[in-house]
């Protein structure tokens, strides 16, 4: 690993072992008002559990995260962009194992290739009745991705500098379930054609609020963050 990434990685480990930004950071990217209670704080008693992986890797002097565009299917997350991940299975043992297994199944990156650094704040998604545990990992090189075409319509390699750029965060009026709402989203792609919104945007919002992000090569400096 190039030494230019070491301060970022060192601070990121510290951030994930300290008190997290939590729901306050997540809700900066929540639709307003929340349609149908998608992001209600209280999971239902029958909520399913799942895990997703935010996997950082260096490439061409920058840091990236892989996101996936889900295919069109009869489900609430059809055609949406998210982290690789999925539902808990008994063989997993815990939700970190779920995130790792699902990442391998969806984009072909094996857990032996990367290091798990920690976890973010769990997020309940009422639309699919899932309590999701975001996991954060690091791999020292750009992996060879092998997306499962059944699970992944497109792989999006998102530069961290783009996610941190305020111009990437946008808000638009949408209509969902007959209600007019304001939807914050990250506009990714060469022409901003990929809108990352909802639960994934909320998890990204917490991740990007960590002080380590200010140490990423090329990241805009925010004086409000003072990494130790």
pLDDT, tens digit (0-9, with 9 covering 90-100), for 104-148: 999 999 999 999 999 999 999 988 899 999 999 999 999 999 999
Q: Residues near 182 by Cβ (< 8 Å), separated by ≥ 6? A: 31, 32, 171, 172, 173, 174
Confidence bin at 52 (pLDDT 50/70/90): very high
Q: What is the structure's pLDDT at 63?
A: 98
> Residue 228's pLDDT band (boundaries 50, 70, 90)?
very low
CA–CA separation, 198 and 179 (whole Å): 16
Phi/psi for 51 (5° steps) reads -135, 145
pLDDT digits (tens, 9 = 90+) for 177-213: 788 999 999 999 987 899 999 999 999 999 999 999 9
From the CA atom positions of the chain, what is the Rg in Å? 17
Share of the chain above pLDDT 90, in %: 76
Class of domain 3-160+198-215 (CATH, top level): alpha beta
Q: How confident is the model at residue 169 (pLDDT cuts 50, 70, 90)?
A: very high
Q: What is the mean pLDDT of the chain?
A: 91
pTM across the whole model: 0.91
Is the Cβ–Cβ distance between 182 and 171 less than 8 Å?
yes
């Amino acid at each position: 690993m190039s030494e230019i990434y070491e301060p970022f990685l060192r601070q990121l480990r510290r951030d994930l072992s300290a008190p997290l930004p939590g729901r306050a950071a997540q809700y900066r990217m929540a639709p307003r008002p929340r349609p149908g209670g998608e992001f209600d704080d209280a999971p239902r008693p029958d909520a399913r559990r799942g895990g997703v992986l935010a996997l950082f890797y260096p490439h061409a002097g920058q840091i990236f995260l892989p996101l996936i565009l889900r295919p069109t299917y009869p489900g609430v997350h059809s055609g949406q962009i998210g982290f690789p991940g999925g539902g808990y299975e008994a063989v997993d043992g815990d939700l970190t194992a779920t995130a790792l297994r699902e990442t391998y199944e969806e984009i072909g990156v094996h857990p032996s290739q990367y290091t798990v650094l920690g976890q973010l704040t769990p997020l309940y998604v009422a639309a699919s009745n899932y309590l999701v545990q975001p996991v954060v990992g690091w791999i020292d090189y750009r992996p060879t991705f092998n997306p499962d075409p059944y699970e992944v319509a497109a792989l999006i390699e998102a530069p961290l500098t783009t996610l941190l750029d305020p111009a990437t965060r946008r808000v638009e009026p949408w209509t969902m379930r007959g209600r007019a709402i304001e939807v914050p989203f990250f506009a990714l792609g060469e022409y901003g054609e990929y809108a990352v919104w909802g639960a994934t945007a909320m998890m990204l919002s917490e991740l990007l609020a960590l002080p380590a992000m200010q140490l990423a090569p090329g990241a805009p400096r925010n004086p409000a963050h003072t990494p130790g």
